[in-house]
């Protein structure tokens, strides 16, 4: 074998080794990318589940807030009814405003799509209707609670 052939053979062997190790590194990189993709996918699924859970926790917070404000309103209404001389009328109006603001926030969240409207309709349709019936003086033209009115109108059959 000539010197030229020996050098050509050596260059070919070295080139083969470079390509072989390049392929090994590329394979390891591909496997690492697949593993990272799987980890990212499962992490995103867990985050999505946590966000879904947080959404329903927010609904519970809305409910607790509305119930607390409604109880306060009921207590003040009872005091005003039992003792008309008691100067609780302004407190009653404040409690009513506070309660209706809580219902307005719930209606806003539903209208903005934070909760599935079909589920909310079955749970809160009567609640919204009863609120409008009970405090009809607050839902006239130019109301401070347009989202409650809009939700009520949307849910009418």
> Where are the domains positioned within the chain?
3-154
DSSP state of 141: T
In angstroms, the CA 106 to CA 68 distance is: 14
Distance CA 76, CA 92 (A): 6
For residue 142, what is the DSSP state? T
Q: What value, to the nearest 5°, has the Cα angle with vertex 25 and ends 30 and 33?
A: 20
pLDDT in 10s for each residue of the chain, 157 residues:
788 888 999 999 999 999 999 999 999 999 999 999 999 999 999 999 998 888 888 888 888 888 888 888 888 877 777 776 666 667 778 888 888 998 999 999 899 988 888 888 988 899 899 999 988 888 888 888 999 999 999 988 6
| pTM of the complete model beyond 0.75 | no
Q: What is the pLDDT of residue 136?
A: 86
Residue 106 φ/ψ region, left for φ over 0, alpha for ψ in the -120 to 50 degree band, beta for the rest: alpha
């Amino acid at each position: 074998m000539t010197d030229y052939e020996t050098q050509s053979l050596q260059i070919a062997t070295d080139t083969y080794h470079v390509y072989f190790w390049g392929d090994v590194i590329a394979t390891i990189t591909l496997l690492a990318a697949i593993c990272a993709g799987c980890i990212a996918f499962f992490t995103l699924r867990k985050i999505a589940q946590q966000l879904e859970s947080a959404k329903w926790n927010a609904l519970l917070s809305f409910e607790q807030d509305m119930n607390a404000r409604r109880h306060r309103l009921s207590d003040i209404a009872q005091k005003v009814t039992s003792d008309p001389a008691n100067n609780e009328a302004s407190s009653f109006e404040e409690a009513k405003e506070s309660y209706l603001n809580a219902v307005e926030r719930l209606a806003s969240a539903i209208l903005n799509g934070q909760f599935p409207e079909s589920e909310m309709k079955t749970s809160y349709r009567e609640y919204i209707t009863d609120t409008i019936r009970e405090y009809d003086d607050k839902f006239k033209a130019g109301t401070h609670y347009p989202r409650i009115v809009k939700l009520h109108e949307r849910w009418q059959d």
